[in-house]
Amino acid sequence: MNKINKLIFFYLVTITIASAGYDTPAMYNVPRSFDFAKNYYNVYGGPDINATIIGSNEFERGQTATLNIDLMNRGKFLGFEADEDPTGANEIFAAQTEIKVEGKIVDAIGIVASLSADTGSPVEVKSVSQQVGSIRSGQNALAPLKFDIKIDKKARAGTYPLSLDVTYDYQKNVQIIDANATQETYDANYWYGIMAQNQTMTIRVKKQADFEITKTNGSLFPGGEDIIEITIKNTGEEKARDVRAIINPSDPISTTDDKAFLYNIEPDEVVVAKYRIKADSKAVSKFYSMDIVLRYETPEGDIRYSSNLLAPVEVKEIGFFQRFFGWI
């Protein structure tokens, strides 16, 4: 049995260097200001954390979703060189033990990961930094990272970058002390450093039809009805087929014709939906909102429904001529 190892931690303040892509690990050299025992070998290599999105990276505008990211340590042991030659049985045992323990230089310890979007991006990362634990070289994290993201309702179709920043400790150097070849016991001093990596993860916002109401023509008087024209524009990037605009007015506004068939609407195309709307005789003079939902078919043949749109309609006060001549 080995004695309890003595841990000596030397940490550095690190700066993460972000780039549009994958960064190799940034290692930080610590001047050796101590020497408790002989150092027989200098080893080279280190952890290398690589991230991959699990599942689809495509989302719809306005969608809130969970982004699952898997981490894998692709760390490599690059080699070693002798620093001091051992003499005697105890030193030979210490040197042999050191080179075995030094192999852990490729393991990532105490990983912390955070995800962020560029300033002004329509993608919002709603999750905080996550502690992952440790990952040995050649292995994956025990569980994927889960980051909640929200896509703005007005996001344009296209690709958007997210920056994944990862920091962790690694075993930088080991010194074997009090080695006893006969009893095969030793103590060890461990020297730890900090590493930082940045990787750009890309998500896509799908092309889709989207709609907005640009204006409403027509007005009503209490107790009267009229044709109200509602202008609708396809502000999305995809064609909407077999479009039906379904209106749902609420008291004191009503209709007996709640569907307008608009056929196909191309991107940036403007169409007009017409409805016969009636105002209750007790309606007061003001603007009322009518809910409209568009049912449409995507180019792939899927049925979709738009978000709820609001169309204003004005109920005007009855004037003198309307009262006198009965123009309502």
User: What's residue 257's pLDDT?
Assistant: 87
Q: Domain 6-205 falls in which CATH fold? A: Immunoglobulin-like (2.60.40)
Q: What angle do CA 134, 142, 1 make, to 5 degrees?
A: 50
Contact call for residues 212 and 295 (beta carbons, < 8 A): no
77, β-bridge pairs: 45
For 211-325, which CATH superfamily applies? Answer: Immunoglobulins (2.60.40.10)
> Dmax over Cα atoms in the chain, in whole Å?
121
Q: Is the pTM of this model over 0.85?
A: no
pLDDT in tens, 139-161: 999 999 999 999 999 999 999 99
Interval 185-207 mean pLDDT: 92
Match 């150092």 to its residue by tokens.
39
Is residue 176 pLDDT above 90, yes or no?
no
pLDDT beyond 60 at 31: no
Q: How confident is the model at residue 190 (pLDDT cuts 50, 70, 90)?
A: confident
Calculate mean pLDDT across residues 298-321: 88
How high is the pLDDT of residue 232? 97
Query: What confidence category does residue 13 fall into, taking pLDDT thresholds of 50, 70 and 90?
Result: very low
Task: Determine the pLDDT at residue 325.
Answer: 56
Q: 242 and 264 in contact (C-beta within 8 Å)?
A: yes
Asked if pLDDT for residue 323 goes beyond 90, the answer is no
The distance of Cα 206 from the centroid of its chain, to the nearest Å, equals 15
Question: Do the domains 211-325 and 6-205 match in fold?
Answer: yes
Q: How far apart are CA 205 and CA 57, in angstroms?
A: 9
Question: How much of the chain, in percent, has pLDDT values that exceed 70?
Answer: 86
Domains of the chain, by residue range, sit at 6-205, 211-325
